[in-house]
Amino acid sequence: MSIATLNIPLHVKYIQNLGKSDDELMYHLTAHLRLNAVYWGLAALCVMGHKEALDRGEMIDFVMSCWDDEAGGFGAHPDHDAHLLSTCSAIQILVMQDALDRLDIPRVVNFIASLQQPSGVFAGDSFGEIDTRFLYCAVNSLSLLGQLDKMDVGKAVEYIRHCRNFDGGFGSRIGAESHAAQVFVCVGSLAILDRLDVCDADTLSWWLSERQMDSGGLNGRPQKLEDVCYSFWVLSALSILNKLEYIDSDKLISFILSAQDPEGGGIADRPGDMVDVFHTCFGTAGLSLVGYPGLEDLDPVYCMPAKLIEKMGLRKGWKALERRSG
């Protein structure tokens, strides 16, 4: 069953009801993502113009309850160790909720900067796993806090350069396969650091255009299945490269819309599958970038409201498609 429009009120309700999950075990198994999930929910609400649907005070309290005072960062859940992924989400949420005054900025900056490795990439935490996703989290967070000078920008850029593959794409670490999500974090980081020259823009934008399948959906690497979340990873990278018009946006829009749950709300990875807040966030984000009517503008570099990022003086030279009239 295909749905012609984005059912905003239903998706808002879906996000509001997330905490009332009946599936206790699922709730547990996703505790390591909880703070990220709150960010995904909030970002989706902002795109849909319903930021107020979740209580601001409660959200800020939850964020602060994830503060790991020993490390000086945020964990994914109370009692979880600080990690860059959750720290980034925490900072994004606090910025979106205008609550940066709650943050011990010097301490968190110290936590973030301390995770940079000699090679320029970042570890996620003291466990030591490295990934270009963590590099993006560091660059994103530090730039939101106006503290990019606390990291070695040159080394980070060089690390990204070494992650560039023969197909123009980027992987999770040096030598790893090109993958759209990793392309986003590398291109996003380069955009923030004003080093998009590291991209081979022609080859990369071709590779990104090749992600679109006949169904209209986008995949993450050649010969894999299309998935709604790639709507964001691929589109944001193209938007940053000013090549968003390469995509067949009509077909992409109908693909994303067909992945909605018409009864309970939310968006899934592809039509017919179970919905989750991750795909709801990135589905609506993708729709916003291609100009779907009735949505707020999104900054593809930060995946946060465009107006807010612009007000902070952080807007880069990306281009989204013009918003259609509804």
116 is a contact residue toward another protein (CB under 8 A): no
Nearest to 40 by CA among 237, 235, 292, 280: 280
Interaction of residue 197 with another protein, rule CB under 8 A: no
Nearest approach in angstroms of CB 25 to another protein is 6
Identify which of residues 36 and 260 has a Cβ nearer to another protein in the complex.
36
Site for another protein contains 165 (CB under 8 A):
yes
**What are the phi and psi torsion angles at 211 (to 5°)?**
-75, -15
Sign (positive or negative) of CA dihedral 84, 320, 324, 221: negative
| Cβ-based nearer residue to another protein, 177 or 273 | 177
Give the span between the Cα atoms of 72 and 84, in whole angstroms. 11
3-state secondary structure of 177: coil
Specify the stretch interacting with another protein by CB under 8 A; choose among 97-105, 186-194, 242-250, 318-326.
242-250
Binding to another protein by CB under 8 A, coded x per residue (else -) over 33-72, reads: xx---x---------------xx--xx-xx--x-------
Helix 277-289 to helix 34-47 angle (10° resolution) is 30
Phi, psi (deg, nearest 5) at residue 6: -85, 120
How far is residue 176's CA from residue 174's CA, in Å, rounded to a whole number? 6
Candidate residues 72, 120, 171, 266; the one interacting with another protein per rule CB under 8 A: 171
Interacting span for another protein (CB under 8 A) from 79-87, 229-237, 301-309, 312-320: 79-87
Using the minimum distance from each CB to another protein, give the nearer residue, 141 or 172. 172
For another protein, the closer of residues 62 and 230 by Cβ is: 62
